[in-house]
Structure formats: C-alpha cells, structure tokens
Amino acid sequence: MNWAELGDTLAAVNASLNATSAIALFVGFVMIRRRALHAHRTAMVTALSASALFLVFYLTRVALTGTHTFAGQGWARTLYLSVLFSHMVLAVFVLPFVLRLVYLVRHRRFHEHARLARLVFPVWAYVSVTGLLVYLLLYQIFGYT
C-alpha cells in the first residue's frame, strides 16, 4: 500500500468516525430527553471518542498526503466549498465548547452543562454530518485531483 492508498483508507475511516459521532450525538440527544442518563453518558463518550480519533487520523492523513483539490465544477464546486468552509470553521469553533462541556460534567455542574449543550449540540452535529458529506463529495461522488 502506497501513501496515497493509505490516505484514501484513512479518509474512509474518518468518514466512518464522523458518522459514528453523528449517530452517537443524536442517540445522546434522545437519551437525555428520556432522562436515561447512563445511556446519554455512553452515547456522548462514544461521540467524543469518535471525534477525537477523527482528529488524530485526519492530521495523520494530511501529513501523509496533503490536501486535495475538488474535481467537481460549477454548482457542485460551489456546494462543496460552502459545505467544506462551514465545516472547517465550525469544527475549530466547537472544539473548546465540547471540552468545556466535558469539564462541566466532570465537575458535576450539570445545570451549566445542559444550558451550554443546547447551543453546542446542533453545531457539533452539523460538523459531524458535514464531515461525512465532504468525504462523500470528495472521495465518492466527484473525486479529487
């Protein structure tokens, strides 16, 4: 396996991690609404773990293969770049807030955690879902050069 093949494999792994994170976030949302606190905690630890692994593998992939140029043109390129830009900005933006949520839970400050989570959840979910969409557009549908 050469570096390009390894990079493509890591990209697929990262897409799976984004999907796992998204599913876990939505399960966690449903579980907290049902007051199933243990199930909520399990789902959120899963989402956090998948997101952390994604970051490690993403940085590894970029170090190995660099970035790619989207091969699509016209409306597809506009769509891809819009999704990619919003994904990247919000991913950087959401990270300290996710860490703050973990801090609040670890210090048993559940009321503050719940208040902040109402704002962070949709952003984190968007980042996870759009991460999968970026992969599909770049690696599966239009390709890269």
The per-residue pLDDT for range 48-105, each reduced to its tens digit, is 999 999 999 999 999 999 999 999 999 999 999 999 999 999 999 999 999 999 999 9
Which residues have a Cβ under 8 Å from the Cβ of 144 and sit 6 or more positions away?
Answer: 68, 69, 70, 71, 138
Predicted pLDDT at 48: 98
Dist CA 40 CA 24 (whole Å): 9
Dist CA 39 CA 29 (whole Å): 10
pLDDT, mean of residues 123-142: 98
Predicted pLDDT at 132: 98
Q: How many CB atoms lie within 10 A of CB 144?
A: 14
Is 144 strand, coil or helix? strand
> Which DSSP string corresponds to 69-138?
-B---THHHHHHHHHHHHHHHHHHHHHHHHHHHHHHHHTT-HHHHHHHHHHHHHHHHHHHHHHHHHHIII
Predicted pLDDT at 3: 92
The answer to whether the predicted template modeling score (pTM) of the entire model surpasses 0.85 is yes
Dist CA 1 CA 7 (whole Å): 10
